[in-house]
């Protein structure tokens, strides 16, 4: 979701009426909203599905990367270590999230994964010294209340958390780590180089983890492989490229509000595609959580961070 906030381009500028950019942004959000759907259809162990997803994205980005390297005369600029660190964090997030999708509903897993901006705020305060206003703390409380409602947490009955929900929450912390690394790394690396390094590193790490855990890498149904190809091309590659392009015309502080519709779209798509009906608890908790995240991310200015692209 907010990983895309770190992208800008020297060839793109904000426009007075960026209707086209909003259309592209919405198309990107729609693409990544299929992530949970495709992963559920793949029915592979979480780390294996994530490994194939990132491998496909790496392959799809290789030709554009080589073309870019030929133009500028160097494959990777300085700062490649940030792409490697980002890939490790993102790989852990994907492995945990994909595992969670096999143990809980797609809507719940996506909602919990989208608590990442909350942990990003805490990390930014600790590591970057950012001062957080009252909106952040109010939004944090509201979002965590929503997460508790979604997972059915009842403080009077003790702590009971579905294993899939727990994995999704832990995965969100690693996703937040990825976003924080991205904020730093994108000051030295252009978008394409950074995305390729993230995908390649995550793919290698996830394959190693899958082998170490004794998970089968082959023997899945044609539907499983087709689903993984779909998530690698449509969600991972296409979706994030569309979002990154749109952010050259729409400020991150505005675009992030649109990005927060991802779990809502996933939940709606889950009804016809997965047969998962949203409960009143999920709707109420999801509404609280998204409202809290929006409150946390509100900005009084329309600033965009300076990155290697501009």
Whole-number percent of the chain with pLDDT over 90: 25
Whole-number percent of the chain with pLDDT over 70: 80
Segment 125-154, tens digit of pLDDT: 787 776 767 777 787 778 777 776 766 655
Q: Which residue, among 2, 215, 208, has the nearest Cα to 99 in the 3D structure?
A: 215
Q: pLDDT at position 274, please? A: 83
* Model confidence band, residue 7 (pLDDT cutoffs 50, 70, 90): very low
Q: What is the DSSP code string of 233-262? A: IIIIIIIHHHHHHHTTTS-HHHHHHHHTTH
Higher pLDDT, 95 or 157: 95
Q: pLDDT at position 59, please? A: 96
Q: pLDDT at position 125, please? A: 78
Q: Where are the domains of the chain?
A: 36-132+159-249
Instruction: Write out the two tokens for 203.
Output: 């793919």
**Cβ-proximal residues to 184 (8 Å cutoff; 6+ apart), any chain:** 82
Q: pLDDT at position 215, please? A: 92
Residue 300 pLDDT > 60, yes or no? Answer: no
Dist. CA 187–CA 182, nearest whole Å = 9
Q: pLDDT at position 301, please? A: 40
CA 129 to each of CA 121, 126, 132, 205: distance values in angstroms, whole numbers, following the listed order: 10, 6, 9, 31
Average pLDDT, stretch 7-27?
58
Q: pLDDT at position 151, please? A: 60
Q: pLDDT at position 199, please? A: 92
Dist. CA 99–CA 122, nearest whole Å = 25
Residue 69 pLDDT > 60, yes or no? Answer: yes
Instruction: Write out the two tokens for 262.
Output: 């991802």
Residue 58 pLDDT > 90, yes or no? Answer: yes
pLDDT-wise least confident of 2-16, 32-46, 223-237 = 2-16
Q: pLDDT at position 160, please? A: 63
Higher pLDDT, 301 or 248: 248
Higher pLDDT, 300 or 216: 216
Residue 282 pLDDT > 70, yes or no? Answer: yes
pTM reported for the whole predicted model: 0.74
Q: Coil, strand or helix: which one is 161?
A: coil
Of 19-23, 26-30, 285-289, which one has max mean pLDDT?
26-30
């Amino acid at each position: 979701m907010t990983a895309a906030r770190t992208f800008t381009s020297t060839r793109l500028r904000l426009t007075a009426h960026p209707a086209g950019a909003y259309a592209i942004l919405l198309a990107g959000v729609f693409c990544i909203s299929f992530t949970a759907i495709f992963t559920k259809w793949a029915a592979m162990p979480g780390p294996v599905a994530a490994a194939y997803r990132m491998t496909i994205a790496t392959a799809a980005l290789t030709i554009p990367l080589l073309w870019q390297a030929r133009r500028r005369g160097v494959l990777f600029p300085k700062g490649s270590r940030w792409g490697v660190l980002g890939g490790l964090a993102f790989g852990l997030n994907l492995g945990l999230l994909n595992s969670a999708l096999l143990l809980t509903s797609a809507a719940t897993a996506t909602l919990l994964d989208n608590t990442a901006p909350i942990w990003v705020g805490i990390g930014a305060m600790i590591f970057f010294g950012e001062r957080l206003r009252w909106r952040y703390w109010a939004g944090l409380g509201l979002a965590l209340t929503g997460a508790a409602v979604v997972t059915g947490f009842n403080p009077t009955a003790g702590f009971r958390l579905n294993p899939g929900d727990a994995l999704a929450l832990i995965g969100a912390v690693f996703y937040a780590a990825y976003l924080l690394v991205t904020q730093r790394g994108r000051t030295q690396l252009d978008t394409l180089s950074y995305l390729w390094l993230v995908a390649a590193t995550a793919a290698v790490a996830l394959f190693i983890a899958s082998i170490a855990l004794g998970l089968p890498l082959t023997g899945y149904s044609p539907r499983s492989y087709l689903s993984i190809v779909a998530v690698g091309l449509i969600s991972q590659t296409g979706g994030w490229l569309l979002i990154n392009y749109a952010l050259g015309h729409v400020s991150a502080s505005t675009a992030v509000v649109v990005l927060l519709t991802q779990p809502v779209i996933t939940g709606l798509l889950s009804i016809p595609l997965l047969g998962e009906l949203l409960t009143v608890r999920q709707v109420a908790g999801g509404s609280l959580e998204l409202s809290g995240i929006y409150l946390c991310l509100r900005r009084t200015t329309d600033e965009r961070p300076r990155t290697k692209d501009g």
